[in-house]
């Protein structure tokens, strides 16, 4: 392989992964904002119904508050001929913990992916000055090229898996 082959491979790899990091960062921030908004919508819906009964639930954990509120609202609506069933209210209360878990999963997956992508990016940038050395040492150059190519492919498949996780909606 020639000096130009290594130079262009490493510089292109660095540019591609730099752009992917930026795009995935923006996408992840958008997704996390959507999850937070979903949590807020669910909370507002529950708070609207929680105002109908007077009970001191402030000192309890949010999950316990939601469970108690759901049961109380269902009881009140059952006695008053309300339109919400217990199952419907339980669905609302499960949204918040589920969205919290989604937020944690996406954040952890994003951080793992960013570590991998930054490693590939940094390695590509560091390798550019060594293009001349790699072109003169054929075996070392080819071996290094293959390792970087495999690392890039793994990072791209990890990106695909991350996007599948982040785009998933229920």
- Residues 93-110 have pLDDT tens digits of 677 778 888 889 999 999
Residue 66 pLDDT: 65
Residue 93 pLDDT: 67
Residue 48: count of CB within 10 angstroms of its CB: 10
Low-confidence ranges of the chain (pLDDT < 70): 45-93, 169-170
* DSSP states along 57-81: -TTS-HHHHHHHHHHHHHHHHHHHT
- How far does Cα 35 stand from its chain's mean position? 10
Helix (H) or strand (E) holding 169: none
DSSP classification of residue 83: S
* 121 three-class SS: helix
Measured between alpha carbons, how far is residue 166 from residues 17, 22, 102 in Å?
Answer: 19, 16, 9
Residue 122 pLDDT: 94
Residue 101, both tokens: 């878990």
Residue 20 pLDDT: 93
Residue 40 pLDDT: 80
- Predicted TM-score (pTM) of the model is 0.71
Residue 59 pLDDT: 45
């Amino acid at each position: 392989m020639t000096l130009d082959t290594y130079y262009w491979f490493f510089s292109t790899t660095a540019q591609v992964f730099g752009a992917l990091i930026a795009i995935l960062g923006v996408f992840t921030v958008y997704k996390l904002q959507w999850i937070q908004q979903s949590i807020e919508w669910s909370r507002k819906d529950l708070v609207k119904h929680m105002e109908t009964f007077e009970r001191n639930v402030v000192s309890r954990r949010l999950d316990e508050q939601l469970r108690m509120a759901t049961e109380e609202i269902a009881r009140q609506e059952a006695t008053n001929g309300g339109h919400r069933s217990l199952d419907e209210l339980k669905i609302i209360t499960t949204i918040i913990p589920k969205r919290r878990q989604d937020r944690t999963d996406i954040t952890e997956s994003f951080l793992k992916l960013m570590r991998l992508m930054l490693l590939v990016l940094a390695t590509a940038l560091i390798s550019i000055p060594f293009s001349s050395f790699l072109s003169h040492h054929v075996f070392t150059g080819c071996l290094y090229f293959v390792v970087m190519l495999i690392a890039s492919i793994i990072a791209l498949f990890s990106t695909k898996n991350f996007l599948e996780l982040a785009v998933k909606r229920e």
